[in-house]
A and B are shown apart, each in its own frame.
Chain A
Amino acid sequence: MNKVTTVEKAMEGIKDSTTIMIGGFLGVGTPEEFINALVKKNVRNLTIIANDTAFPDKGIGKLVVNKQVKKIIVSHIGTNPETGRQMNSKEMEVELVPQGTLAERIRAGGAGLGGVLTPTGIGTVVAKGKQTLVIDEREYLLEKPLKADFALLKAYRADEKGNLVFRRSARNFNPLLATAADTVIAQVEQLVPTGNIDPDAVVVPGIFVDYIVQG
């Protein structure tokens, strides 16, 4: 199976109302090529799951500014005033999730788990309407798994089988997303022939990756 393709081909299945997970932390490790292509495609009513909405002119922020997002599930919106504005005007629904909880909900989605139990958010607005459990005398919040139609990843290096290697803090949510979406596409800086990545250095096994785009 040839996974190496173009941006257009990799993103063919993304339509209006698609749920998309996008890697990155304030734009670091975000597949900017895919974001630009989404803006160009102008698909609307998207549900986006990501760490944050970055900046108005960078990363996921561009999708918000272009009003393509119906609902966004993130831990932080403070660096993009447009997100706050659309939240307050009710143009966009914003679900704020503690960062560690977000990571675990995505991991649970990809790992076939029914949810996670976390002490984070107990006694705060995050706990509103959620089930709690007491285990060994400590109270935990039940947080449900997250899944998506597409995951858009940014990696440093890939081989033709889609094995991925990341660089520095550009890794962040990317490896988690690879497990939790039906179709996983990766923008990579370097594409090397299969066999040129040491199996011990692989962070995301290629079996999770459907399409690779160099960019």
Chain B
Amino acid sequence: MDNRTLIAKRVAQEFKDGDVVNLGIGIPTLVADYISPDMDVILHSENGFVGLGPADGAEDPDLTNAGASPVTCKSGSAMFDSALSFAIVRGGHLDATVLGALEVDQKGNLANWMVPGKMVPGMGGAMDLVVGARKVIIAMEHAGKDGSPKIVKECSLPLTARGEVDLIVTNLAVFAVKPEGLILTELAPGVDLETVRTFTSADYIVSPQVMTMNV
């Protein structure tokens, strides 16, 4: 199983029947493919609807996801304007959001919207999502392409939000963000503690009940 699939499958286990969830671009988008068909998880699209469904080949120019890709809306969908869309986000009506990250630190701070001087795409809806969602899940490759840690002691890039991250799911491990710090709760199949230590610069506590991801 490739890294992206592994991460998406593990994140999909976080949802329960009836949850309203927003999935970001990239690995988070893949999560939709692994949500159990036995559960009714309602996907929110910040450009203005709930009931996001997969693309079916028939492109409707009036119906895209927040990345401008064609999608469908499921039976029972609802459409709304951007103010209501973000009332859902900020008002505590989203059970979870799944986003990628450039850096996450041991206090649950997140940086995922810009690299000064290099990449300034704008925050879009990310700042509202991270502040507003009940549960903030980061889904990302554990380290950068050059092996540099992305789970760090303190974010060096401009923050998206302060202290809002709840769970970090990577191709190596799962960390819960708690008041006492990061807790390593799961290891990916075939990954040992030493590997996680090598690619993580943050301090963390290894849970006494550390398990292998069930993916």
Interfacial residues, chain A to chain B (CB-CB below 8 A): 25-29, 51-52, 74-79, 84, 87, 96, 98-104, 106-107, 118-126, 156, 166-176, 203
Contacts and interface: CB of A to CB of B under 8 A. Distances in A.
Nearest to B69: A26
Dominant SS at the A interface?
A: mixed
Consensus secondary structure, chain B interface: loop
B79 interface: yes
B4 interface: no
Contact of B79 (A122, A126, A169): A169
A76 B64 contact: no
Contact of A103 (B62, B68, B86, B120): B86
Interface of B: 45-49, 60-64, 66-68, 73, 79-83, 85-86, 89-90, 109, 119-128, 131-132, 158-163
B49 A52 contact: no
A78 B66 CA distance: 13
Nearest to A123: B162
Contacts, number: 144
Residue in A78, A98, A175 with the greatest tally of chain B CB atoms within 10 Å:
A98
A166 B132 contact: no
Given A75-B124, A99-B124, A169-B47, A28 B61 contact: yes
Contact of B128 (A120, A123, A169, A174): A120
Contacts of A124: 127, 158-162
Given A99-B86, A122-B162, A171 B68 contact: no
Contact of A98 (B73, B79, B121, B128): B128
Given A52-B122, A168-B73, A29 B62 contact: yes
Nearest to B64: A28
Contacts of A25: 47-48, 64, 66, 68, 82
B161 to A, nearest CB: 7
Contacts of A119: 90, 131-132
Contacts of A74: 122
B117 to A, nearest CB: 9
Given A28-B62, A75-B125, A103-B85, A172 B47 contact: yes
Contacts of A123: 109, 159, 161-163
A127 to B, nearest CB: 10
A126 B124 contact: no
25 contacts: A25-B48, A25-B66, A28-B62, A74-B122, A76-B122, A76-B124, A77-B120, A100-B86, A103-B81, A103-B85, A103-B86, A121-B127, A123-B163, A124-B160, A125-B158, A168-B49, A168-B62, A169-B48, A169-B64, A170-B61, A171-B81, A172-B47, A172-B48, A172-B82, A174-B81
B90 A173 contact: no
A101 B128 contact: yes
B47 A78 contact: no
Contacts of B121: 76-79, 84
B64 A26 contact: yes
B73 to A, nearest CB: 7
Contacts of B67: 26
A120 B90 contact: yes
A27 B48 contact: no
Nearest to B63: A168
B159 A103 contact: no
Contacts of A118: 90
Contacts of A173: 81-82
Give the 10 A-B residue pairs with the shortest CB-CB distance, closest first: A78-B121, A100-B86, A123-B162, A100-B128, A26-B68, A76-B122, A98-B127, A99-B125, A168-B62, A103-B82
Contacts of B62: 28-29, 156, 167-170
Nearest to A99: B125
A169 B49 contact: yes
B127 A120 contact: yes
Nearest to B130: A120
Nearest to A174: B81
